[in-house]
Amino acid sequence: MIYILGIESSCDDTAAAVCGNTKILANIIANQEVHRHYGGVVPEWASRAHQQHIIPVVETALQTANIKKEQLHAIAFTRGPGLLGSLLVGTSFAKGMAMGLGIPLIATDHLQSHILAHFIQDSENEKAVPAFPFICLTVSGGHTQIVLVKDYFSTEILGQTIDDAAGEAFDKAAKIMGMPYPGGPLIDKAAREGNPHAFSFREAKIPGLDYSFSGLKTSFLYFVRDQLKKDTGFIGKHTADLCASIQHAIVSTLMKKLLEAARVTGIRDVAISGGVSANSALQKAVKEAGEKEGWNVFIPPLAFTTDNAAMVAVSGYFRYLQREFAPLDIIPYSRQ
């Protein structure tokens, strides 16, 4: 059994996980409350909070896994993309620990890790995993991509957003409605009571498999602003319908290109990953499309959709098998 400690600190979650091969033995996350009322992550605060959280989070992960640090074979960390100050905390911690223990350091890519979350085994029964090549819609707060996954580390981007990410569209719409950050899960919850066809917003028409979400956000902003001029209580009276309608617009945009990607490639193993893959309407739409189109659909368990270190540990395990180790002078990157 190969034991890997995974460390994730790319944005506002400090996370550590331990895996034995692809099986997760512990998956610990410390969320940061400080950003809630600022409509987004404040980078400087995020890196300070990572500094506070990293040691207790790693200690708890090792204790939960019942693994002594001397039993670890390697330390994997997220090298990027993400907030540089946040990434530096995880990177420096991983370097120090690997050096102290005299074991290899493994650098992982955050977006690849979101995709490799599909290979995590977390229960007694072996879970089915996608077969290569498969298509993965990676949708998070920072990225929206349709990726052709040829092998664990061989990927090709078929399409991606030219401006905002889908998660950003959720979060910005929530902010316009006065909800705290991150608004995606709150919109998902409120939308359950609403009518997705109550209001319609302008969806972008972008060629090929690329996306654009900034126009949708503006259309939502102007619509709400105009309604507020007529009735200052508009948001409160129509929260559920507003949430259901913006969610519908985002999900239908995501689905159109995903369907097109599956059709042009002829690939039938279709996965979704990243924070927005936790969205119940997106999950439902992918399952329905899967039934119609004859896809094998892969949706990660909730804990592995949003940022977590289990995906980093498993991604590290696959790199460990290839002996892909990082030098101690490696530095993080903020962009892909």
Choosing from 6, 80, 184, 194, the residue that interacts with ligand KG4 (CB under 6 A) is 184
State in angstroms the smallest separation of the CB of 285 from ligand KG4: 12
Q: Which is nearer to Zn ion, 164 or 307 (CB)?
A: 307
Positions in 281-300 near ligand KG4 (CB under 6 A): none
In the Cβ-directed half-sphere of 59, how many Cα atoms lie within 13 Å? Answer: 5
State in angstroms the smallest separation of the CB of 276 from Zn ion: 10
Binding of ligand KG4 by 109 (CB under 6 A): no
State in angstroms the smallest separation of the CB of 294 from Zn ion: 30
* Partner from Zn ion, ligand KG4, none contacting 148, C-beta within 5 to 8 A by type: none
State in angstroms the smallest separation of the CB of 172 from ligand KG4: 9
Judge whether 298 and 270 are in contact, CB under 8 Å.
yes
Q: SS3 for 308? A: coil
DSSP designation for 266: T
Using CB under 5 A as the criterion, what x/- string covers residues 116-145 for binding Zn ion?
Answer: ------------------------x-----
Provide the 10 A C-beta neighbour count for residue 314. 30
State in angstroms the smallest separation of the CB of 16 from ligand KG4: 16
**Which of 183, 245, 199 is closest to 36 using CA atoms?**
183
**Which of 115, 119, 121, 90 is closest to 105 using CA atoms?**
90
Assess whether the previous peptide bond of 81 is cis (omega < 30° from 0): yes
Positions in 221-280 near ligand KG4 (CB under 6 A): 274-276, 278-279
Judge whether 147 and 135 are in contact, CB under 8 Å.
yes
Positions in 119-148 near ligand KG4 (CB under 6 A): 140-142
- List the structure tokens of 321: 């098998």
What distance in Å separates the CA atoms of residue 156 and residue 145, rounded to the nearest whole number? Answer: 10
Judge whether 143 and 274 are in contact, CB under 8 Å.
yes
Positions in 18-47 near ligand KG4 (CB under 6 A): none
Binding site for Zn ion (CB under 5 A): 140, 307
Residues that bind ligand KG4 (CB under 6 A): 11, 140-142, 167, 170-171, 182-185, 188, 274-276, 278-279, 306-307
